Structure 1
């Protein structure tokens, strides 16, 4: 594979694909801040509203897990097209027959199915990156991917509804999301239609395609390094998902911050990741994927997690001091960006299955973070949750000492020793 022309690590040939991800995820993220309350305002119970999102999350996790292999056996372009069309159709049905008719069963059905759509769209593009970008540039390209993701769902998707809801209402804002998703989907369909080479796995027989799909699970057993990488990726975002649940109890419930102040502090975290995802993606190629994850990801997140508790507790209701741990978290959580490059490097003959396991790890992190918090909180409070996450980050750091992955330009000690022995043998033979 020839060197990909890039701009600060951004592959030029895939430029419009990255833009499409930001636009698509903006529309997908419109509902995050208010849909749950909108459903309860319609007369449904909080438990019913929670079940809607539970089914959505389960569907999204399933789609994320399988998307890498699906994209490899039908091509990323087709998988993205399916995800795009599925999102639009299910959202329209959810709005008209679900919310529009206040039919709870149809709300569960259509919103749940829509959960399959966005992972199929965005994670198929991840495989396209892996297939078309040289291994020594994947980390920086993935930094840009997560930056676009943060711009979409974390910035535009979170802030724009605060302006549109007073103007067109919650229902109008939910319809407005369709325009953004359609724009992102169409841009991807036209801009990426001729990108890359079709995978050989696209021509497998149905039986062989099913066998390839099963590798999304079996690789965890057959490849020890994939299993270790999976554990590290799960731990990666524990604080991100867990702190969103437990920290309002500390900041608002105990320290006197208003909910608006807390939301602004948390928004700063997302804003910082836009830049640090790109930064760490590029630096990972120089520092080394695993070395960066160990010292800046694992250790950095351990210190950031502790800071998120001890700094506000020490300084009390001090808005600007509370911003410090949010910035720290935004800096160090992105240091795990090279993990996306690690998975396919560990299983180069089955990149789709490797990406699927990466996606599974991300989904499990989203699930396990609040689960750990719910188990620890009743016994040890918020401080116990913080120390549990910190211990897990340190554990992940230990795992980085065990995992073995060949990174272009950063040979392992075993490979270096083997090359040295080969060189010595060649010199002895010539002499």
Structure 2
């Protein structure tokens, strides 16, 4: 395993670091100010469109997509340090480089499983950043940690599919530019193989029977930059049968293919969030005095900063190993490592952010620093893309199998 960055990665890292310093960090405060003046909180703030244009001009666009026909053609190992940098400003940087979830996962699905017409109609405008999208799987009435539980029906009726169900926490659905949903439901609810009951269909947002009921908050945040998280009702919504993604019964497999890269992308960005937290901790520690000496001279602060640095270095190595395995033996061969990083990274980063908040006192929970919002995002990732306990269960069973 050689984790040294190659020449292309180093070139993109340098460009991206400069882009962050010159454009992204200064735009954070500007974006907050502009949002307060919008008629709707879900509209895109002007500075985001300006940054998107600049990112495209500099070639910092669609870096996540390994298919060189559509994206940058980077391996997971090449993309990892870039996603980490973007994670330092997770509300802005992924969005303005067209590397934000859920669009990234949806573009991967369309690239791998979409037909020519589906790619032309939906993938191309997504790649161009002209529209946004949403992935509708999670449901409020069932334990969605087990994806086989979903109850949304997708029934064939002649040349159409009829979709009926209720979804929630559908990321991106509140954004006015969200034009398409990838919806997972059951086409064969009584099938013997519970992992062949599900299918995915493309449902345009303006389809009759599709209702955006409300925006869901996350720790009180509405996550405007990612298009929010909505509750969506599908009431006998009809789409052409040609909107099926892949084959009937292939929905569970497509979901697994989608979630593998998504999980490692989240962990890459989480490391960037932790690095931002360490930087803020150090700046705060050297600039504040309490009880006669700088916070940087307090022993407990030394422990927090040292532990955070050790933790980040450990996590980065595990994420890079996982990326390398995904590139060399595939997602299935890296299953143990993907689950390991999904368990370890959010948990550890939440702890680092918690210490950073503590060091900032009242400022840490305020809107004047990004820490509270970073904390909410990191804590949510202990649930999103499969809660920790599901990954622990699967990982433990795989370990135990060697001894039974």
TM-score tier (shorter): 0.3 to 0.5
Task: Flag the structure with higher helix content.
Answer: 1
Asked which structure has the greater RCO (Cα within 8 Å, sep 6+), the reply is 1
Q: Greater strand share, 1 or 2? A: 2
Structure-1-length-normalised TM-score: 0.33
If the length of structure 2 is used for normalisation, what is the TM-score? 0.35
